[in-house]
């Protein structure tokens, strides 16, 4: 990932929060330059020492399981909000018209070596945690234990657990940090009026940097 | 990408529409198993024979330009709406509780060999088209010609154009097609009540398949 220095985000809490908010990862592996891409939700677990691990699962029939060398070379991309930024939003536009469009986005790349798990206990514990991470915000959360035991046992036999201890975590927050404060306020105003699917979230990213200059 | 047959979408118009609606691509290249990932907006152009091409641009300082072998092995991922699907939404849940959570999503993978362009005419034409594709929906669209000529000429010298004739286009629409019609209606209701950033779009995907069973 090629990113000008001002767009690099290194704060681990901010990177972890994006993964939690956008857990559907684009899991990329490559072996002999054969690129494999799978889309699966990951749960991020951070231990007391700050070591972060991604946990997920795939179907036992996934051909990726035949390519164990590929698993060693894994990158998972988590994509946060992204929005087109119109030059007409910049406060500086009327001055000399020296403005061009850009695209703002926030992404996290997590690099590591994927390990497999077939132990029933690991899988059940993982499914409980992943489910609870999504259901806990609901008024009546569904629990894995709501389903019949033999039904869940059959499900467990059909999947393989994935554990990726994160060796390198990269964050790109391309959120108008290279602009003046007045231009940032113009971007926030433009995004707020836009009501794109992501514009509110992107507006909040830009707002966080609005006093940097 | 490992996808059960029922989730494979082959309709080119549907795949193209997702790219147009979500043009920020995750561009993946691999050479000697070194995975490079760049996030850039692409414009899709389809000629009279139905041949589709992705066009974008990157900064001339991007180290990807030093790895021409990697460019030959390009995949661009375009991600549409994605949503957690709670088992509590399924109409069939009360019958025997044999339900589990899943994640719905729609993605397109475009494979091809990336070619580079440094010709001023190509770049200017590309920037005009890319800009217009985003600005045309605005009341007062900004145009590249609104900026001073010498300013744009300087910008053009800083970028390199990317052209990827699409050799293989894969679509995955994991949108509850494996569920009964009543379960699909439950998912649509759940998504509509959810107001996640993507739930309305995902609800419309599921609705399109609601009468398949």
ipTM rounded to 2 decimals: 0.94
Residue B69 confidence (pLDDT) above 90:
no
Chain A residue numbers with beta carbons less than 8 Å from the beta carbon of B88 are 138, 140, 142
Residue of chain B minimizing CA distance to A78? B26
Mean pLDDT of B82-94: 95
The arithmetic mean of pLDDT across residues A148-159, rounded, is 97
pLDDT band at B1 (very low <50, low <70, confident <90, very high): low
Q: How many angstroms separate the CA of residue A25 from the nearest CA in chain B?
A: 11
Contacts of B2 in chain A (CB under 8 A): 38, 58-59, 61-64
- Chain A interface, mutation test: which of B18, B21, B23, B35, most A Cβ atoms within 10 Å? B35
Sign for the pseudo-dihedral over CA of B111, A24, A197, A86: negative
Of B69, B64, B74, B35, nearest in space to A112 by CA: B35
> Shortest CB distance from B77 goes to which of A1, A26, A152?
A26
Average pLDDT over residues B49-62: 95
The residue count of chain A comes to 213
Q: How far is B130 from chain A, CA to nearest CA, in Å?
A: 10
Contact indicator for A188, A81 with CB cutoff of 8 Å = no
Whether A208 shows a pLDDT value over 70: the answer reads yes
Contact A38 B1 (CB under 8 A): yes
Chain A residues with CB under 8 Å of B129 CB are none
Phi, psi of A167 (to 5 degrees): -90, -35
Per-residue confidence (pLDDT) for residue B196, from 0 to 100: 72
Residues of chain A neighbouring B81 (CB-CB closer than 8 A): 197
Taking residues B160-182, what's their average pLDDT? 96
Cβ-defined contact of A2 to B39 (cutoff 8 Å): no
By CA distance, what is A194's nearest residue in B?
B138
Judge contact between B9 and B180, C-beta under 8 A: no
pLDDT tens sequence across A47-98: 999 899 999 999 999 999 988 888 889 999 999 999 999 999 999 999 999 9
Q: Cβ–Cβ of B1/A79 closer than 8 Å?
A: no
With a CB cutoff of 8 Å and minimum separation 6, the contacts of B52 are B12, B16, B44, B45, B46, B110, B165, B166, B169
Which of A92, A102, A198 shows the shortest CA–CA distance to B196? A198
Residue among A27, A29, A35, A186 with most chain B CBs within 10 A, to mutate: A35
Distance, in angstroms, between A50 CA and closest chain B CA?
A: 26
B38 to chain A: which residues are within 8 Å by CB?
1-2
Alpha-carbon distance of B54 to B64, in angstroms, equals 17
Is the per-residue pLDDT at B105 higher than 70?
Answer: yes
- Mean pLDDT over A15-36 rounds to 95
Q: How far apart are CA A36 and CA A26, in angstroms?
A: 10
Residues A28, B33: C-beta atoms closer than 8 Å: no
Overall average pLDDT of the A163-190 stretch: 95
* Percent of chain B residues past pLDDT 90, beyond the cut: 81
Taking CB atoms and an 8 Å limit, are B37 and A1 in contact across chains?
yes
Q: Do A39 and B97 touch (CB under 8 A)?
A: no
- Given a cut of 60, whether residue A213 has pLDDT beyond it is no
Which residue from A33, A152, A17, A108 is spatially nearest to B101, judged by alpha carbons? A152
């Amino acid at each position: 990932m090629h990113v000008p220095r001002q767009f690099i985000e290194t704060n681990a809490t901010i990177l972890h929060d994006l993964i939690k908010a956008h857990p559907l990862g684009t899991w990329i592996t490559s072996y002999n330059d054969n690129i494999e891409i799978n889309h699966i939700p990951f749960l991020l677990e951070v231990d007391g020492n700050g070591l972060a691990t991604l946990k997920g699962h795939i179907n036992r029939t996934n051909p990726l399981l035949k390519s164990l060398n590929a698993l060693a070379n894994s990158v998972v991309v988590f994509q946060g909000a992204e929005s087109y930024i119109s030059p007409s939003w910049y406060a500086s536009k009327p001055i000399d018209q020296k403005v061009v469009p850009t695209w703002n986005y926030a992404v996290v790349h997590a690099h590591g070596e994927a390990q497999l798990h077939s132990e029933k206990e690991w899988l059940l514990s993982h499914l409980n945690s992943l489910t609870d991470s999504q259901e806990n915000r609901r008024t009546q959360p569904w629990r894995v234990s709501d389903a019949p035991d033999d039904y869940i046992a059959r499900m467990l036999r059909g999947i393989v657990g994935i554990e990726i201890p994160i060796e390198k975590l990269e964050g790109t927050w391309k959120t108008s940090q290279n602009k003046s404060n007045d231009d940032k306020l113009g971007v926030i105003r433009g995004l707020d009026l836009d009501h794109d699917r992501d514009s509110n979230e992107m507006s909040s990213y830009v707002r966080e940097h609005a006093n940097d200059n």
